[in-house]
Amino acid sequence: MRLVRFGEPGAEKPGLIDAENTLRDLSGEIDDIAGAVLSREGLAKLRALDPKSLPKTDPSHRLGAPVAGTRNFVAVGRNYAEHAAETGSDVPEEPLLFNKAVSSIAGPRDGVVIPKGSSKIDWEVEVAVVIGERCYQVSKAEAMDHIAGFCLCNDVSERTWQKERGGQWLKGKSAPGFGPLGPWLVTRDEIEDPAALELWLDVNGQRMQTGTTADMIFDFATIVSYASEFFALEPGDIVTTGTPHGVGAGMKPPVFLKDGDIVTLGNAKLGEQRQVFSAPR
């Protein structure tokens, strides 16, 4: 299934995209794409519905992040060897975890306002997993059963704040709009091989990033199991799993986003995002 949330910010409704790419309204069946709806049992109930029995909805609706109720937005750094090399960093021996503020979450086509005082805004196309069931100290063999599905994430980053302001990557990763998710949550059963997802990202129509999840240093199961060793992941939590090479900070000379730049990114199964970056208001 491809699950979405549509409508104005703060008033999104749950929906799905059917086999004919028609937006269908799920609000008569569930309150939101959150909590128990994301469990194996909850998703099985949605899967049993006939999509054609659901009301069609205007496809021009804004899409929000495809999951609600997120308490924890976890990210993984340097999870592709070539990306670690382009930033002059060592390949980590264990998954390098950090947080993005939940308040950074945005829809896949929402604009991003460049924060006042920032100067090095960068892009990172990533695959994120959405947790479907409480996940604490689970084995690698069990980890995938706790994942509801996958979605795209642009891990927007302010490199000065991330690396030159005394540590704590959280500061450079968390401004409003720095966590676009979606356009849809693709349930785990729809992804035959999570280790074969091809990713791309363009800036103003120029290809900057291409990569595949086959090149991840730590795979999805390893990351989720590892994170759960230290803290509980709850339904609706997001774990975004790192970016391939081709970020602006790794270019010679570095290239960063400015007013009017357009970032597009995608994957054949997970859809596409588009963000217009604008100067501070």
Q: Mean pLDDT by 10-residue block, N- to C-terminus, for the chain (281 residues)?
A: 98 98 98 98 98 97 98 97 85 95 98 97 98 98 98 98 91 98 98 97 98 97 98 98 97 97 98 96 78
Number of H helices, E strands in the chain: 6, 18
Give the helix/strand (H/E) hosting 140. helix 140-143
First CA to last CA across the chain, in angstroms?
38
**Residue in 1, 6, 13, 7 with CA at minimum distance from that of residue 49:** 1
Residue 250 CB partners (closer than 8 Å, separation 6+): 83, 86, 87
User: What is the pTM assigned to this prediction?
Assistant: 0.97
Could you give phi then psi for residue 101, rounded to 5 degrees? -65, 140
Number of other residues whose CB lies within 10 A of the CB of residue 71: 13
Q: Would you say 100 and 70 are in contact if contact means Cβ atoms under 8 Å apart?
A: no
Integer Cα distance of 32 and 12 in angstroms: 8
Q: Which amino acid is at 189?
A: D
Which homologous superfamily is 67-278 in? Fumarylacetoacetase-like, C-terminal domain (3.90.850.10)
Q: Give 73's strand partners.
A: 238
Q: Would you say 160 and 97 are in contact if contact means Cβ atoms under 8 Å apart?
A: no
Tell me how far CA of residue 200 lies from CA of 245, 266, 281, in angstroms: 10, 6, 30
pLDDT of residue 50: 98
pLDDT of residue 17: 98
CA angle 241, 175, 169 (to 5 degrees): 50
pLDDT of residue 84: 83
